[in-house]
């Protein structure tokens, strides 16, 4: 279990059929909790990234900042 303030990825790329997968360990609770910064989850110039089992909470404004990215799930 754990709490993160921000996840930021820049120029991180998987491939079709071989995405980069970021997920919580089985049975663990991972929370991205940020009431100060506007974007606790950001991907810039990325492709084929999957997020699984992450909870985003206590947002001040926005949730995800996805720029010039594709196939983000």
State pLDDT tens for residues 1-25: 888 777 788 999 999 999 999 888 9
- How does pLDDT run across 26-68, given as a tens digit for each residue? 999 888 877 665 677 788 999 999 989 888 776 666 667 888 9
Give the predicted TM-score (pTM) of the model.
0.77
Lookup: tokens for 58: 């206590």
Encode the chain in three state secondary structure. CEEECCEEEECCECECCECEEEECCCCCCEEEECCCCCCCEEEECCEEEEEECEEEECCCCCCEEEECCEEEC
Whether residue 71 contacts residue 36, with contact meaning beta carbons closer than 8 Å, is answered with: no
Residue labelled with tokens 């506007």: 38
């Amino acid at each position: 279990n754990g709490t993160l303030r921000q996840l930021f990825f820049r120029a991180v790329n998987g491939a079709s059929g071989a995405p980069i997968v970021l997920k919580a360990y089985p049975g663990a609770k991972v929370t991205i909790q940020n009431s100060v910064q506007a974007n606790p989850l950001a991907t810039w110039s990325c492709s084929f990234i999957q997020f699984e089992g992450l909870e985003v909470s206590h947002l001040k404004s926005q949730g995800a900042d996805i720029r010039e990215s594709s196939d983000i799930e």
